Chain A
Amino acid sequence: MDQVGSLNALNTGIMDGTTTNYNTREALLKLFDERIAGYALNDSPELTAMRREAIAGFASAGFPHTKMEKWRNTDLTRVLNHDFKFPEAPVMAEVDLEEIFRCEVPGFDTHMIAQLNGWFIERGAGLSQAAQGVVVCSMAEAFEKYPDIIASHYGKYAPVKENSLSALNTAFAQDGVFVFVPDNVEVNEIVQIVNLVHSADPVFVQPRNLVILGKNSSLRLVHCDDSVDDQVGFINAVSEIVLSENARLDHYKLQNKNDRSALVNNVFFHLEAGANLSTNAISLNGGLIRNEVYVRLNGRGSHADILGVYLMDRDQHIDNQVFVDHAVPDCTSNELFKGILDDQASGVFNGHILVRKDAQRTNAYQNNKNILISDKAVIDTKPFLEIYADDVKCSHGATVGQLDSEAMFYLRSRGISADNARMLLMYAFAAEIVNKISIPQLKQRIDDLVKKRLRGELSICDQCVLHCNSREQKVSFEIDMSKI
């Protein structure tokens, strides 16, 4: 398949994905029973066992509901109430690749990986550091080629008992992105995962990613979630990300989804001694977005910066759940989430810091700041510290406010219209997070997107929020059918 510019070619030679409507526990359990034998043909016995354990976890809990404390303010009912297709094979789609991957960030070269409806799409050029052992491939391929790494890490961080959506993902996951960086390798290229949803029918997709950083290695990873159309979709993604001793990861999540989409993103970070994580969630649009970030500081001297900014309006809903587990002494964590909510938009922030008994000399900070533009916008913010050690520095804070009227007057007194003054202040509020982006071209791009968003000019029609690859570069997509 050497078609350039369109996925339409995929129509040929691929069986039509069997689809049924799945939005209830019962239907999903039945589907699992139908599919598990097929999965087992490719799976290792361990993976099959893991799927069975996971579906049991999902069976006992079902979909999260608002009677659960952690889901009190996020109601999945409205986004589950669709006749989802649960595609077993890639959904046929016609996507203008030239359009999606056109370059809007001069000089921002990334190694881009695309996922379409959860399926990894192989693209021409490999990573330049492949010779040093850096691997970027589909999960399906990783299951086959790297069984030892899979056995040590896959499913070891994402719980299937306490988290029913993570369990559901584990039960059904077939594909996603696998990244492996060997010890002592600094990856020069920025790895960018673009997760697209594009379908004629409502789809329920479950990408599964695993990222392993060896000792003293470093990686910059940009993870984009985009819609290509305004079709209903439910993404239930799980990523497990491991930072070995002294590894460094700079991680960005960019979310620009349509208003009819739901995105639940469970990310499990595991940090060994001296590891350094910076993760930044930038949510620009989305019908319902729930980011669950789990950070386990498992080795001495590890550090995590967990940042986020969200700009929501209309009926959009954003929910950030952050759980930081200080398991050992001498670790530091720093959380800052800032959000602007307009119209009837609603938001949730739940920050939970756990300092275990032995985790002495912990420094943990947490802050959530919000601006509500309209009377109808709501935010439910709940910082929560759970501390069992005694030599600890922790702080938390949450603010909810309106735009500063003094600052508004100051700007207007210079001739700036009320609308633009408001825009400038909102931008300034968000800029604190944007300015922490350490990749200059990415920072510039996000900065532009935030401005565009605040002016009301960013729509999902802009498609991928990062059009990074060179326009000149011809791109071709292939799906390796043998892995599916």
Chain B
Amino acid sequence: MLSIKNLRVSIEGKEILKGINLEVRPGEVHAIMGPNGTGKSTLASVIAGRDIFEVEEGEIIFNGKNLLEMPVEDRASEGIFLSFQYPVEIPGVSITNFMRTAVNEQRKYHGLDPMPANEFLAKMEEKKRMLDIHAKLANRSVNEGFSGGEKKKNEIFQLAMLEPTLAILDETDSGLDIDALKVVANGVNKLRRPDNAFLVITHYQRLLEYIVPDIVHVLFDGRIVRSGGKELAMELEEKGYEWIRSEA
């Protein structure tokens, strides 16, 4: 599904990713762990298409298409979703309006007519129920005045609405209390299907107790230095990142 080969990325002349290789297949959950400042969020942003980075070398192929040649919005329509570490507040744009615009633009990309309003509203209700979101989201402005937990829940809600094939969760656990973390993790687990995949970026092992990964990668200084099963996460938790640092 996702194939990253020798990806080298810099920002303002400073190399951040120094040759990443990654293969994600449908149905898999990959975790990317690593200390702060090693390029985890950069990797997420580059896949999603943020243009503040310079891709020096390498390729990102998604379902046979070259992502690096696509604008951000087309990547989304192709099935990439990024759950932001710091979701942006957009006063004045209601969540309903935001999601309806997004859903319909993605449909348009695939040559489909806009979703009828009643069908859309029913879908919103269904996803809210599924994710256990009770708050009256619909008429609130996107993320405006939301608590940290609400913002992350709102990201997962958008994920549920847009039904991507590859969801990247960038530090979704940061700033969450245990209850919010459970809601978010349960939501993700409910959204797992044989034909979609997740890339979970996290600093701590905690989230991975709830979203159990198939493969864990350790990112250090712009390179994936180790990959393994879910036990690798526990090993990291035990030994700390110093262990990786000494190995790298």
Q: A interface vs B, CB < 8 Å?
A: 404, 406-407, 409-418, 420-421, 424-425, 427-432, 435
CB-based contact A411/B90 at 8 Å: yes
Nearest chain B residue, comparing its CB with the CB of A433: B92
Nearest chain B residue, comparing its CB with the CB of A426: B92
Closest Cβ of chain B to A406, distance in Å, is 5
Q: Does B202 contact A (CB under 8 A)?
A: no
Known: A415-B77, A424-B90. 16 other contacts (CB 8 A): A407-B90, A409-B50, A410-B84, A411-B102, A412-B49, A412-B72, A413-B75, A415-B76, A416-B101, A416-B105, A424-B97, A424-B101, A427-B93, A428-B90, A431-B92, A432-B91
CB-based contact A424/B105 at 8 Å: no
Q: B interface vs A, CB < 8 Å?
A: 48-50, 71-73, 75-77, 81-82, 84, 87-88, 90-93, 97-99, 101-103, 105-106, 109, 141, 158, 162
Chain A contact residues: helix, strand, loop or mixed? helix
CA distance A427 to B77 in the complex (A): 23
Closest Cβ of chain B to A259, distance in Å, is 28
CB-based contact A428/B91 at 8 Å: yes
Q: Which residues of A contact B82 (CB under 8 A)?
A: 413
CA distance A143 to B99 in the complex (A): 57
CB-based contact B73/A417 at 8 Å: yes
Closest Cβ of chain B to A419, distance in Å, is 10
Q: Which residues of B contact A412 (CB under 8 A)?
A: 49, 71-73, 76
CB-based contact B109/A415 at 8 Å: yes
CA distance A409 to B48 in the complex (A): 9
Closest Cβ of chain B to A250, distance in Å, is 22
CA distance A92 to B106 in the complex (A): 53
CA distance A338 to B101 in the complex (A): 25
Given contacts A414-B102, A415-B73, contact A428 B158 (CB under 8 A): no
CB-based contact A409/B90 at 8 Å: no
CB-based contact B72/A413 at 8 Å: yes
CB-based contact A410/B77 at 8 Å: no
Please, could you name 15 A-B residue pairs with CB atoms under 8 Å apart, sorted by A?
A: A406-B88, A412-B49, A412-B72, A413-B49, A413-B72, A414-B73, A414-B81, A414-B158, A415-B102, A417-B73, A418-B71, A425-B93, A428-B141, A431-B92, A431-B93
CB-based contact B93/A424 at 8 Å: yes
CB-based contact B73/A416 at 8 Å: yes
Q: Which residues of A contact B101 (CB under 8 A)?
A: 416, 420, 424
Closest Cβ of chain B to A395, distance in Å, is 20
CB-based contact A420/B105 at 8 Å: yes
CB-based contact B87/A410 at 8 Å: yes
CA distance A418 to B76 in the complex (A): 13
* Contact of B72 (CB < 8 Å), options: A404, A409, A424, A428: A409
CA distance A429 to B93 in the complex (A): 9
Q: Which residues of B contact A429 (CB under 8 A)?
A: 92
Q: Which residues of B contact A425 (CB under 8 A)?
A: 90, 93
CB-based contact A428/B93 at 8 Å: yes
CA distance A430 to B91 in the complex (A): 10
CB-based contact A413/B48 at 8 Å: yes
CA distance A416 to B158 in the complex (A): 13
Closest Cβ of chain A to B154, distance in Å, is 12
Closest Cβ of chain B to A403, distance in Å, is 11
Residue with the greatest number of chain B CB neighbours at <10 A, chosen from A413, A416, A424, A431:
A413
Given contacts A424-B93, A427-B92, A429-B92, contact A415 B87 (CB under 8 A): no
Nearest chain A residue, comparing its CB with the CB of B158: A414
Residue with the greatest number of chain B CB neighbours at <10 A, chosen from A414, A424, A427:
A414
Closest Cβ of chain A to B111, distance in Å, is 14
CA distance A411 to B49 in the complex (A): 12
CA distance A435 to B71 in the complex (A): 33
CA distance A425 to B76 in the complex (A): 19
CB-based contact A414/B48 at 8 Å: no
CB-based contact B98/A414 at 8 Å: yes
Nearest chain A residue, comparing its CB with the CB of B50: A409
CA distance A410 to B92 in the complex (A): 15
CB-based contact B98/A411 at 8 Å: yes
* Contact of B162 (CB < 8 Å), options: A410, A415, A417, A430: A415
CB-based contact A410/B88 at 8 Å: yes
CA distance A209 to B214 in the complex (A): 75
Closest Cβ of chain A to B107, distance in Å, is 9
CA distance A415 to B163 in the complex (A): 12
CB-based contact A416/B92 at 8 Å: no
CA distance A123 to B189 in the complex (A): 66
CA distance A415 to B106 in the complex (A): 6
Nearest chain B residue, comparing its CB with the CB of A435: B92
CA distance A429 to B90 in the complex (A): 9
CB-based contact A432/B92 at 8 Å: yes
Task: In the A-B complex, list the 7 residue pairs whose CB atoms are closest, starting with the nearest.
Answer: A428-B92, A415-B76, A431-B92, A414-B102, A412-B72, A415-B106, A410-B88
Q: Which residues of B contact A428 (CB under 8 A)?
A: 90-93, 141
Closest Cβ of chain B to A424, distance in Å, is 5
CA distance A429 to B141 in the complex (A): 12
Nearest chain B residue, comparing its CB with the CB of A404: B88
Given contacts A410-B88, A414-B158, contact A424 B73 (CB under 8 A): no
Q: Which residues of B contact A409 (CB under 8 A)?
A: 50, 72, 88
CA distance A424 to B92 in the complex (A): 9
Nearest chain A residue, comparing its CB with the CB of B45: A409
CA distance A195 to B82 in the complex (A): 51
Nearest chain A residue, comparing its CB with the CB of B79: A415
Given contacts A415-B102, A424-B98, contact A410 B91 (CB under 8 A): no
CA distance A474 to B32 in the complex (A): 71
Q: Which residues of A contact B158 (CB under 8 A)?
A: 414
Closest Cβ of chain B to A45, distance in Å, is 55
Nearest chain B residue, comparing its CB with the CB of A414: B102
Residue with the greatest number of chain B CB neighbours at <10 A, chosen from A406, A412, A421, A431:
A412
